[in-house]
């Protein structure tokens, strides 16, 4: 909001998470009296809606239209699932069907951030992969795995196990590359994608080093050509 730019962020994880929240909320209502699931997914859905609204407000035209299209497809899909599970699938089969859809979507939201790993490896920079988020994912997912075991709900266990694995992978990458900095060319490409970035400080340092190197060479050449030395 401060930069009035969505930079390199994409809306897909936010939309998928919102759909996941709504499906888990529906799943919890079917199970009845699952207050933790109802509470966390109600709050989560509200927060995701805020994220998406901010994204739409500041995104360029093409990403904005893509986001609106994804939202439309998500709501249509949600409506289809609700109709299907209410009129076609009944009883225990309804819970199983909906549970595995929820588990698949939640696992997808955990795995989606791993898409940034390619940029992390290429630039040797963790600028777009904050360790606090990765750590929170591991802790949250691990606690939900425990909760799933207590409920004997395999859907919750499987989905959040994927979260633990994804979070651990992100933390390992962070530990490998957290001291690394993007090369100058990489910084320029990032700056090109993010007009609000200020690469001048790094470029000035590089320029100063180059100037010092040139001055040193000229000084040595001058000494070698001077007969008095």
pLDDT digits 0-9 by tens, 46-63: 999 999 999 999 998 898
Do residues 113 and 126 lie in contact, with contact meaning Cβ atoms separated by under 8 Å?
no
14 to 10, 50, 54, 113, 204: CA distances (angstroms): 8, 10, 11, 11, 37
Distance CA 108, CA 129 (A): 17
**Residue 146: band (very low, low, confident or very high) from pLDDT cuts 50, 70, 90:** very high
Q: What does pTM read for this prediction?
A: 0.66
The pLDDT of 139-144, averaged and rounded, is: 93
């Amino acid at each position: 909001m401060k930069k009035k730019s969505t930079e390199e962020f994409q809306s897909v994880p936010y939309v998928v998470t919102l759909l996941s929240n709504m499906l888990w909320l529906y799943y919890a209502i079917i199970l009845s009296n699952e207050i933790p699931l109802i509470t966390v997914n109600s709050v989560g859905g509200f927060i995701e809606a805020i994220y998406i609204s901010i994204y739409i407000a500041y995104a360029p035209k093409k990403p904005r239209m893509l986001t609106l299209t994804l939202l439309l497809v998500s709501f249509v899909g949600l409506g289809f699932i609700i109709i299907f599970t209410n009129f076609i699938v009944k009883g225990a089969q309804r819970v199983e069907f909906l549970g595995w859809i929820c588990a698949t979507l939640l696992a997808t939201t955990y795995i989606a951030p791993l898409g940034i790993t390619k940029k992390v490896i290429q630039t040797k920079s963790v600028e777009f992969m904050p360790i606090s988020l990765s750590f929170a994912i591991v802790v949250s997912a691990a606690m939900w795995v425990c909760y799933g075991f207590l409920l004997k709900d395999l859907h919750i266990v499987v989905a959040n196990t994927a979260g633990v694995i994804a979070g651990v992978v992100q933390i390992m990458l962070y530990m490998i590359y957290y001291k690394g900095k993007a090369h100058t060319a990489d910084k320029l490409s990032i700056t090109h994608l993010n007009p609000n970035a200020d690469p001048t400080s790094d470029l000035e340092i590089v320029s100063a080093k180059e100037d010092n190197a040139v001055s040193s060479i000229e000084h040595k050449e001058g000494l070698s050509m001077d007969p008095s030395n």
